[in-house]
Amino acid sequence: MTTNIAVLCSGGGRTILNLLDRIEDGLLDANIILAIASNHDIPAVERLASRGIEVAIAQQENDTASMGDMNIQAWLNEIKPDLICLCGYFRLLPIEPWMEGRVLNIHPALLPRHGGKGMFGMRVHDAVIQTGDVETGCTVHFVDEVYDHGPQILQKTCEVLPNDTSQMIADKVFLLECEAYPEAIRRVSEQLKV
């Protein structure tokens, strides 16, 4: 049975494009039924549109962030997807009772290290270098009311080499993310169908 997914993003949309690739390749039995961008001027909007995905814009030009949050909650409550996948979404999503165990996030580090509010993108990889970590990776976890906190679903790891730059680490971790998120979605989808 196909899993209906809503995806939320605040950046480039590469994670969603990866999910679309896996769906089109038949490696992920899912359907993206709702794509939400935090605002209109992020690269993900155009990238997803070029793949035939209509994108709902949470926060219009004159809206406050809280108005955007209310829009998101209303859209999610209306369609109640099987899973909600945060794909580089930078705001804290309020979890309503029906959403518990259905909201996933992918983080570009081995949580609990280098997580929390404001820890996203290159900030995470810079922190890996600054703390001298010899290993990093990505974590897929369930979302709760705290940034990067919910129960882990899976992690994938890679070595941090002495000469690695933040960008080199970001590239390695993104390759892991491309494997980890579809795998986690499959695992959770199977559990939901039991």
CATH of the domain at 22: 3.40.50.170
Q: Does 150 have pLDDT greater than 80?
A: yes
State the pTM of this model. Answer: 0.94
Per residue in 82-140, pLDDT (tens digit) is 999 999 998 899 999 999 999 999 999 999 999 999 999 999 999 999 999 999 999 99
Which pLDDT band, with edges at 50, 70 and 90, does 12 fall under?
A: very high
Give dist(CA 90, CA 11) in Å, integer.
9
The strand order across the sheet containing 103-107 reads 55-59, 30-39, 3-9, 83-86, 103-107, 135-142, 152-159
Q: Minimal CA–CA distance to 164: which of 172, 174, 156, 154?
A: 172
* pLDDT on residue 112: 97
Q: Does 146 have pLDDT greater than 70?
A: yes
Number of domains within the chain: 1
What is the average pLDDT across 43-70? 85
Which pLDDT band, with edges at 50, 70 and 90, does 194 fall under?
A: low
* pLDDT on residue 186: 97
- Identify the three-state secondary structure at position 137: strand
Q: Does 46 have pLDDT greater than 60?
A: yes
Which domain does 147 fall in, by range?
Answer: 3-192
What is the average pLDDT across 30-54? 94
- 33 DSSP β-pair partners: none
Strands 135-142 and 103-107 turn out to be antiparallel
DSSP assignment, residue 97? G
* pLDDT on residue 23: 97
Contacts of 107 (CB under 8 A, 6+ apart): 115, 119, 124, 138, 139, 140, 141, 148
Q: Does 20 have pLDDT greater than 90?
A: yes
Contacts of 57 (CB under 8 A, 6+ apart): 36, 37, 39, 40, 45
